[in-house]
Amino acid sequence: HSRYGIEDFNEDLRRLMTRVGVENEKICFIFDEANVLGSGFLEAMNALLASGEVPGLFEGDEYTALMSHCRDSAARAGVIIDSEDELWRRFTGIVQRNLHVIFTMNPSGGDWKNRSTTSPALFNRCVVDWFGTWSGKAMGEVGRSFTSRLDFGDFEAEGGFWASEEGESIMAVVESSFTDSQGGGSKYR
């Protein structure tokens, strides 16, 4: 609904994580960039992918209730747990094993570079699956993103190699190599 905010999202994440981590359901959660209504949404998803938890999501009575449900779930599975820390590690491990996140986004959008640096788990804990037509510019940005930390010699200036004249020339060649002769779409779909 139009008033959906971070608190609603956090409540949905609590329910989702409980289903996955306590009830042992295997769930695929599809999350589109259009659903990112603020930075808190991405921060939560990044933390969840990186560690199986979202810091501060379960607190006070919610945490106590979760631990009780986790204890019951472990007992049903015949697992003996001695401490809440072990119970929490078991819960987050099950979440990481049973929750699969599909995050869809357009790499040619303005936030691609920002998201790849501020939310690394969205990229290094996920399989990147390309579909549809990507522009030459988008393909060039992917290449730039993956090579931005490579040592290209004496390019210590602001922006490094890609900000240099030589880097920009190479990027133009990379971008044009992905554009077909009709001038429209990418050769790679």
In tens, the pLDDT along 140-188 reads 777 777 766 666 665 555 555 555 666 677 777 766 766 643 355 444 4
Q: Minimum mean pLDDT among 13-17, 32-36, 109-113: which range?
A: 109-113
Overall average pLDDT of the 55-76 stretch: 95
pLDDT digits (tens, 9 = 90+) for 32-52: 777 777 778 888 888 888 888
Q: How far is CA 61 from CA 58, 65, 67, in A?
A: 8, 6, 10
- The more confidently predicted of residues 172 and 17 is 17
Which of 145, 149, 103, 99 lies closest to 122 in space, CA to CA? 103
Residue 189 — very low, low, confident or very high, per pLDDT cuts 50/70/90?
Answer: very low
Residue 144 vs residue 24, higher pLDDT? 24
SS3 156: coil
Mean predicted lDDT score pLDDT of the chain: 78
C-alpha–C-alpha distance, residues 59 and 56, integer Å: 6
* pTM, rounded to two decimals: 0.64
